[in-house]
Amino acid sequence: MQKVILEMNHIDKSFFGKKANDDVYLRVMEGEIHALLGENGAGKTTLMNILYGLYQADSGEIIWKGEPLAIKSPKDAIDRKIGMVHQHFTLVNKLSASENITLGLKTKGYPFTDRASLDSKISEISTRYGLPVDPGKRILEMSVGEQQRVEIMKLLYRDVDLLILDEPTAVLTPSETDDFFAVLERLREDGKAIIIITHRIPEVMRIANEVTVLRDGKVVCSKSIGDLDEEKLSQYMIGRDLSTLKREERTGGNVLLNIDGVSLEEKGKKVLDNLCIKINEGEILGIAGVDGNGQKQLAEVILGIRKLGGGSIYLDGNRIDQLSIEERKNMGIGYISDDRHRDGLVMDMNLEENMLLRSERSGFLHHGFIDKSALKSATEHAISEFSIKTHSSGIPVRLLSGGNQQKLIIAREIHDSVRLVIAFQPTRGLDIGASEFVRSLLLSERDKGCAVLLISADLEEIFSISDEVAVIHSGRIMGIVRNNSDVDMTRIGLMMAGKEVM
């Protein structure tokens, strides 16, 4: 018979006078996958950060294995067999997987560590749970999916009883998600308790035993998954029915973006290989492919972050591959990066200051001075228009949820004079309501005559709004298909795997 392993009762937590958690309760059983569902800013991560010791609750109690527990730090949590994998990983890039997994542990023989013995134990855990990890491989050489496996191995190496996973599938491709769920099944069968923080309702229905839904910091539902369906969950989560996204068939105008024979090498390996694509005005071109096949390099050579190894790029007939990043942005290119912390935001700056990062078109600078009133007004307009959950435009963006950080970037990058939007994983980390909003926004920009390059690991997203879909593998375009009712998804899958399909 399953036992209750965790209870959180009457949890309250406020930031700057605004409640992030309001009388929240949560109960988790051994051998259970419990989904913590809610929109961005609903209080999910705050609640789990309290459990993991990163925050202290203003009031309430935590009962762990039947005993009251005070968790003052992550070390306290780990010592009591509670572990957490954050949405943004906490790995040391220059160290190997093995060194990351054992980092901070005083193993036998310390400081003269028997690395071979440690690697043997890592391989044993890896085999047991179906988590393929190369102990000697450095983090900086790994895909996002591999890095996530290392994060989970860190916890399993410490023999935790409860794993907290914050948006674990947000960075995974569909095939990686399938593999990840197989790992969760093994962990559940082994008696581990798992809490998944998520906003993806189909995944909740597929993998979870129980679900607790938060909205505006309060519990609005806590039920067995068998008592719910997707429609009920979406209503609990966003408090309304989702509208149906409509993409009308249309033919774009003149060619706006022309990428002609672009190549790029990194460390002696071709990451872009004679790549050719065109996007017309008023058209969305989706790039489909398994993550790590040149998508990021493609986005960054268009913007000018990376220099071409060969080929040329034209915007509205003008060659731009010799121009600076600023010059390209001034020509009307907006960029939504897949890594908002590294490329999109300065985390310790406030919302207004981050809006100023597009100062070349903002009109906020006059003779070298910032028009603070205009900047504040524009930021507050963005907060309202994009439903960014924050109590003030003057707080650091690191205090926003990941989804609200993403909304701020989108509000900054999609502006009146934008002509080409490079949208790289634009809904990563967003809940279903916010994702619907972003996709509708991209369709709206397309209907205004803007060209959109949509790069996403989410095939459902690509086929929901793209006019054409190009499949990329190993930096090459394997084929381009018109998005209509005749699309052969088997053919798409073969091209994603690198198969030449006629």
Q: What is the CATH class of 253-332+418-502?
A: alpha beta
Pick the range with the lowest mean pLDDT from 171-180, 273-282, 467-476.
171-180
pLDDT exceeds cutoff 80 at 311: yes
Q: What is the pTM of this model?
A: 0.65
CATH numeric code, 4-238: 3.40.50.300
The pLDDT of 394-420, averaged and rounded, is 87
- For residues 100 and 120, give the distance between their C-alpha atoms in angstroms, rounded to a whole number: 15
DSSP string, 296-334: HHHHHHHHTSS--SEEEEEETTEE-TTS-HHHHHHTTEE
pLDDT attached to residue 57 = 95
What gap in Å lies between CA 169 and CA 387, rounded to an integer? 24
CA dihedral 416, 417, 419, 421 (to 10 degrees): -60
pLDDT(459) > 90: no
CA quadruple 110, 111, 112, 117: dihedral positive or negative?
A: positive
Task: Calculate the CA 274 to chain-centre distance.
Answer: 29
DSSP per residue over 142-174, as a string?
Answer: S-HHHHHHHHHHHHHHTT-SEEEEESTTTT--H
- Given a cut of 70, whether residue 326 has pLDDT beyond it is yes
Integer Cα distance of 106 and 415 in angstroms: 53
Q: What is the pLDDT of residue 141?
A: 86
| DSSP annotation of 341 | I
360 pLDDT more than 60 = no
**Identical fold between 4-238 and 253-332+418-502:** yes
Average pLDDT of span 482-493: 81
Distance CA 267, CA 471 (A): 24
Segment 314-324 shows an average pLDDT of 94
Strand 468-473 and strand 476-482: the pairing is antiparallel
Q: How confident is the model at residue 493 (pLDDT cuts 50, 70, 90)?
A: confident
Q: How far apart are CA 160 and CA 107, in angstroms?
A: 17
Whole-number Å distance between alpha carbons of 123 and 221: 40
Query: What are the boundaries of each domain within the chain?
Result: 4-238, 253-332+418-502, 345-416
User: Among all chains, which residue has been given the structure tokens 């897949």?
Assistant: 338
Q: How many CB atoms lie within 10 A of CB 349?
A: 15
CA distance to 169, 223, 462, per residue, from 166 (Å): 9, 20, 24
Q: Identify the pLDDT of residue 239.
A: 73
- Closest by CA to 213, choosing from 234, 192, 242, is 234
d(CA 39, CA 433): 8
What is the edge-to-edge ordering of all strands in the sheet holding 310-315?
269-280, 255-266, 310-315, 318-319
